[in-house]
């Protein structure tokens, strides 16, 4: 039997981090469609993130991406966030948008380019000190397009040296989250292509180095929940970049393409104690054609629904069926939980948190969207110019 009070308590304390860039304009390499009311600066992004938290109750932090969110005074930005009821979360580095990085950043064959990239990563740790952020999220676009273009082993060596220097700079309570991605922008050999490579580097660095699983960064058919289970067992699951995909790194709303996969992932999180293990549940999405704030609210709710279903798996019944070799019985226990309509339960949880049962409706009625469309005129809308 599932303990409903414990399920509700876990749901009340869940936290999903939203990404500053999801509030800004984005697109594909073919077109960026601007939307009215989009933030012009990091403060406006934080103000939008605060609205997501206001209506969901479980999105208390917002991740920054440097230099997209560069400001003169990070402590002041952190204070601004706190005044709106949220905090600044992970600092995402960016070593992929300068001309210098054509052949890579920390793996580049030229030591001067590597130095520039490491300098940026160290600057990001300075920013973490000012914002009070715990996590530095590293994703490297490094790799090669053609066999023989550069030496795979030497590039691993350079990566290892760069990571070690940044690791040494981390303060108490700070962590480094290393993200992997199997291709794009490199098409032959990516330098951190998979969880195994990320894990090997993290293991060598020490306990503050953890792997981050971006759900869009795997080949089709990859069993992501297996990776999650393994990393949790090894104490190296630092966090998620949640999104969903039909084809490649589509960055669509998490849970939109495959809610069953999201449930399976969250089940392994629950099973491995990941809800209380410091795992960062972050979104990494782009809302190219849909309204941004409602899409982010929906995404947070999708994570919450998958978590609720995962928590509802009857652990005792499942263990009994598994122990008895009852294949269909064990599968039925898992499918029963997945098939449960958890929306009434989540409505109750929200009521207990003093929130409206329907966050999307509450946001639509709040007038915030109309207000930002009216007020945010002039200036340059934020975006990353894809
Ligand atoms: C790379 O595709 C990535 O997932 C990394 O997390 C980047 O920081 C982010 O996307 C930018 O959108
Ligand atoms: Mn990501």
**DSSP letters for 286-311:** --SSS-HHHHHHHHHHHHHHHHHHHH
- Which residues of the chain, if any, have pLDDT below 50? 386
Residue pLDDT, tens place only, 49-90: 999 999 999 999 999 999 999 999 999 999 999 999 999 999
What's the confidence (pLDDT) of residue 336?
Answer: 98
**Block residue for tokens 């999220």:** 137
Residue pLDDT, tens place only, 246-284: 999 999 999 999 999 999 999 999 999 999 999 999 999
Q: Quick check: bond before 151 cis, omega within 30?
A: no
Global model pTM greater than 0.95:
yes
Which mutation among 89, 92, 285 tests ligand 1's pocket best, with the greatest number of atoms within 8 A of CB? 92
What is d(CA 257, CA 29) in angstroms, rounded to the nearest whole number? 21
What is d(CA 158, CA 109) in angstroms, rounded to the nearest whole number? 9
List domains and CATH numbers for the chain.
4-375 (3.20.20.150)
Nearest atom in ligand 1 to the alpha carbon of residue 286 is 12
CB under 6 Å to ligand 1: residues?
21, 92, 139, 179, 181, 214, 241, 249, 284
**How many angstroms from the chain centroid is the CA of residue 226?**
18
With H, G, I as helix, E, B as strand and everything else as coil, classify residue 224.
helix
What's the confidence (pLDDT) of residue 173?
Answer: 97
Gap between the terminal Cα atoms of the chain:
50
Which mutation among 69, 139, 192, 242 tests ligand 1's pocket best, with the greatest number of atoms within 8 A of CB? 139
What is d(CA 159, CA 192) in angstroms, rounded to the nearest whole number? 9
Among 75, 74, 45, which Cα is nearest to 61's? 45
Q: What is the Rg, in whole angstroms, of the alpha carbon atoms belonging to the chain?
A: 21
**Contact predicate 283/253, CB 8 Å:** no
As residues whose CB is below 5 A from the ion ligand 2, the structure lists: 214, 241, 284
């Amino acid at each position: 039997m599932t303990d409903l009070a414990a399920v509700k308590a876990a749901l009340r304390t869940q936290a999903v981090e939203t990404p500053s860039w999801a509030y800004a304009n984005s697109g594909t390499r073919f077109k960026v469609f601007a939307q009215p009311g989009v933030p012009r600066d990091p403060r406006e992004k934080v103000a939008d993130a605060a609205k997501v938290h206001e209506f969901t109750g479980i999105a208390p932090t917002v991740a920054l991406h440097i230099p997209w969110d560069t400001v003169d005074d990070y402590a002041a930005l952190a204070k601004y966030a706190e005044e709106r009821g949220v905090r600044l979360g992970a600092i995402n580095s960016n070593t992929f948008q300068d001309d210098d990085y054509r052949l890579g950043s920390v793996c580049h064959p030229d030591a001067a380019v590597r130095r520039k990239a490491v300098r940026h990563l160290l600057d990001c740790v300075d920013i973490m000190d000012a914002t009070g952020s715990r996590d530095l999220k590293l994703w490297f676009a490094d790799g090669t397009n053609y066999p023989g273009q550069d030496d795979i082993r030497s590039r691993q060596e350079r990566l290892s040296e760069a990571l070690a220097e940044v690791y040494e700079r981390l303060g108490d309570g700070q962590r480094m989250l290393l993200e992997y991605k199997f291709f794009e922008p490199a098409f032959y050999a990516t330098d951190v292509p998979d969880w195994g490579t990320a894990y090997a580097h993290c293991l060598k660095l020490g306990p503050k180095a953890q792997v981050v699983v971006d759900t869009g960064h795997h080949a089709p058919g990859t069993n992501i929940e297996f990776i999650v289970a393994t990393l949790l067992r090894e104490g190296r699951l630092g966090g998620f970049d949640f999104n969903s995909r039909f084809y490649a790194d589509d960055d669509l709303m998490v849970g939109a393409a495959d809610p069953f996969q999201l449930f399976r992932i969250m089940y392994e999180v629950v099973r491995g104690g990941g809800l209380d293990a410091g795992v960062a549940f972050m979104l990494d999405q782009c809302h190219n054609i849909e309204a941004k704030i409602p899409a982010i609210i929906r995404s947070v709710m999708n994570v919450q629904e998958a978590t609720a279903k995962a928590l509802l798996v009857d652990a005792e019944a499942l263990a009994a069926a598994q122990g008895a070799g009852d294949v269909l019985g064990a599968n039925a226990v898992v499918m029963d939980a997945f098939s449960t309509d958890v929306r009434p339960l989540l409505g109750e949880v929200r009521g207990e948190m003093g929130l409206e049962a329907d966050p999307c409706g509450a946001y639509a009625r709040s007038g915030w969207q109309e207000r930002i469309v009216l007020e945010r005129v002039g200036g340059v809308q934020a975006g990353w110019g894809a």
